[in-house]
């Protein structure tokens, strides 16, 4: 989505930083993703223990895309959007 320099953020980013620099669905799509996370128990687990496994951000052709972690990110946006989340940056040729 965006041109993101991973060295600018390192191994942790807040949910707000991820959305601002990588992008994510908003509005109804975000709400739907969060509802799935909460109904599966993932939302409650994140609320209790936070996010332990890194979200993966793919970098290709000067763009960055969230490769996994959409449900975790949607919960983080609702629970604590400024709290750091572990991220992994992968480069696609």
* Domain residue extents for the chain: 6-91
Q: Indicate the pLDDT class of residue 28, thresholds 50, 70 and 90.
A: confident
Count CB atoms within 10 A of the CB of residue 19: 21
| Residues 61-90, mean pLDDT to the nearest whole number | 92
Q: Indicate the pLDDT class of residue 1, thresholds 50, 70 and 90.
A: very low
d(CA 21, CA 24) in angstroms, rounded, equals: 9
Q: What number of H helices and E strands is found in the chain? A: 5, 4
The topology (CATH level 3) of 6-91 is: 3.90.1530
């Amino acid at each position: 989505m965006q041109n993101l320099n991973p060295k600018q953020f390192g191994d942790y980013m807040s949910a707000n930083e991820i959305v601002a620099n990588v992008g994510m669905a908003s509005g109804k799509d975000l709400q739907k993703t969060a509802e799935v996370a909460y109904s599966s128990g993932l939302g409650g687990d994140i609320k209790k223990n936070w996010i332990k496994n890194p979200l993966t951000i793919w970098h290709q052709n000067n763009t960055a895309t969230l490769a996994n972690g959409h449900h975790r990110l949607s919960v983080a946006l609702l629970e604590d959007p400024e709290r750091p989340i572990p991220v992994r940056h992968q480069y696609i040729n």
